[in-house]
Amino acid sequence: MLCSLLLLLLVCSTQATHFYGTVMTYYPKTPHTNGSIEVVLRYKLNFLSCDDSDSWTCFLGDCGTQSVELHKVEESSGEWCQREGVMTRQVPSNAPFYLELSGGNWINDVVNDISSWEALTLVELRNRSDTNEANRSPQTTILPALRVPSNCQRDFNLLAFDPDGDKVKCRYGNTSQSECNPCTPPSVLKLSPSCTLSFSPTDSSDEGPYVVQLVLEDIPQQNIILTHTNGSKELKTSNDPISKLPLQFVLRVDGMVPFCTEGLYLPKFLPPTPANRARLNTPVNQTIHIPISAEANTSKYVKK
Ligand SMILES: *[C@@H]1O[C@H](CO)[C@@H](O)[C@H](O)[C@H]1NC(C)=O
Ligand SMILES: *[C@@H]1O[C@H](CO)[C@@H](O)[C@H](O)[C@H]1NC(C)=O
Ligand SMILES: *[C@@H]1O[C@H](CO)[C@@H](O)[C@H](O)[C@H]1NC(C)=O
Ligand SMILES: *[C@@H]1O[C@H](CO)[C@@H](O)[C@H](O)[C@H]1NC(C)=O
Ligand SMILES: *[C@@H]1O[C@H](CO)[C@@H](O)[C@H](O)[C@H]1NC(C)=O
Ligand SMILES: *[C@@H]1O[C@H](CO)[C@@H](O)[C@H](O)[C@H]1NC(C)=O
């Protein structure tokens, strides 16, 4: 049995107060003969401190019963704490349902003026006519904060892969659909539907932290039919999203640096670091070693 492992390599780092965003993906199990199905939802919860926490609740539909485990993933010199949650839900049928995370507050002094957090996942488990299996969500992950000097052009290629072969579309959240509260996008970023965030050099008055609240959707390459446990069917065309996931984090626009060349002020990845978005295959239960190396000749940076 092989599982794929996706690598996210983005130049990044952090600091500051409370919520640092979240991301969620899901993995369905084979349905039971009585129609009930188990789904494993994996999420990241990012806060300033590991003492802070929040839990996902049922927003709409029958979310079934749940069991949750939280593991600490990474803590970087007390700047933030990222934890991974593994939530197993048993639902009575493959009917779609929504999970929500909501509370307050994001970190302080957010330039695009977001204080409350809200994130929404649409879990779609109906049987797909192309795979004969429950729909699987896109796969993605993110660090709590990304950084960029205000005078440097940077493209952030976000991780967006779909195990069913669907197109993955990235868009900003929509406030009236409760995808964030509110969803005001950062003025300093341009988002392409293929999940690249582009930052262009900007004025030093734009420096500071921005909250980025994205939604990822899987869209079939051609028409498919979703079949409910009770036999009812729904057509999804190549314009229709199937599931949706939140991808929320902080972008820090730092002070100017004298040079934008990678390897001087901005770190540069060195061989044998695998490429961003690389897919590595490994047998289940076998430890995988991933060598990562980077340099920045001038380790000092100008910070606001
Ligand atoms: C369906 O079967 C599973 C596995 O046998 C069981 O755990 C679950 O409680 C059953 N659900 C219902 C609604 O009967
Ligand atoms: C999906 O439907 C196909 C065809 O009806 C069936 O063979 C398959 O077992 C179903 N899969 C699941 C996961 O329900
Ligand atoms: C946001 O959602 C509302 C309600 O579903 C919809 O009418 C509106 O067009 C959406 N806005 C955007 C920008 O897609
Ligand atoms: C099957 O269940 C769905 C969701 O609960 C419902 O909307 C639909 O009317 C049901 N269809 C049939 C044929 O019972
Ligand atoms: C950084 O310094 C090393 C050693 O002096 C040099 O080989 C390398 O080319 C430098 N990197 C850049 C991007 O200037
Ligand atoms: C992986 O290891 C765990 C713990 O040793 C075991 O319970 C599980 O069955 C193993 N999974 C596979 C697919 O070998």
pLDDT, tens digit (0-9, with 9 covering 90-100), for 262-291: 888 888 888 888 888 788 888 888 888 888
Q: What pLDDT is attached to residue 10?
A: 40
Ligand 3 lined by 287 (C-beta under 6 Å): no
Q: Does 249 map to a domain? A: yes
Closest CA relative to residue 248, chosen from 198, 209, 213, 196? 213
In a domain, 270, yes or no: no
> What is the model's pLDDT at position 15?
31
Nearest to 37, CA basis, from 101, 124, 139, 100: 124
Q: Is residue 283 part of a domain?
A: no
Q: Which ligand is nearest to the CA of 282?
A: 6
Q: Is 174 in the pocket of ligand 3 (CB under 6 A)?
A: yes
Q: Could you tell me if residue 282 is inside a domain?
A: no
Q: Which two tokens stand for residue 173?
A: 């959240």
- The whole-number pLDDT of residue 277 equals 78
Quick one: which atom of ligand 6 is closest to the CA of 285?
1
Residues present in the chain in total: 304
The ligand minimizing its distance to the Cα of 30 is 2
Confidence (pLDDT) at 8: 42
**The two structure tokens encoding residue 179:** 């995808």
The pLDDT value given to residue 302: 37
Domain range holding 60?
2-262
How far apart are alpha carbons 97 and 94 in whole angstroms? Answer: 9
Give residue 23's identity as a one-letter amino acid code. V
pTM: 0.87
- Report the C-alpha gap between 49 and 26 in whole angstroms: 26
Residue 196 lies in a domain: yes
Is residue 188 included in any domain, yes or no? yes
176, two tokens? 């009236």
Amino acid present at 83? R
Domain count, the chain: 1
257: in domain: yes
pLDDT in tens, the chain (304 residues): 333 344 444 433 333 358 999 999 999 999 999 999 999 999 999 999 888 888 999 999 999 998 988 887 766 567 788 899 999 999 999 999 999 999 989 999 999 999 999 999 999 999 999 999 999 999 998 889 999 999 999 999 998 999 999 999 999 999 999 999 999 999 999 999 999 999 999 999 999 999 999 999 999 999 999 999 999 999 999 999 999 999 999 999 999 999 898 888 888 888 888 888 788 888 888 888 888 888 888 764 433 2
What is the pLDDT at residue 286? 87
How many beta carbons lie within 10 A of that of residue 161, not counting itself? 15
Residue 63 DSSP one-character state = -
- Ligand (nearest to CA of 178): 3
Cα dist from 52 to 20, 88, 94, 102, 246, whole Å: 11, 22, 33, 13, 20
CA-35 nearest atom, ligand 1: 1
DSSP H or E segment with residue 40: strand 37-47
90: CA distance to ligand 1 center in Å? 9
pLDDT at 20 (0 to 100)? 95
Is residue 110 situated within a structural domain?
yes
Question: Look-up: residue for tokens 């934008």?
Answer: 260
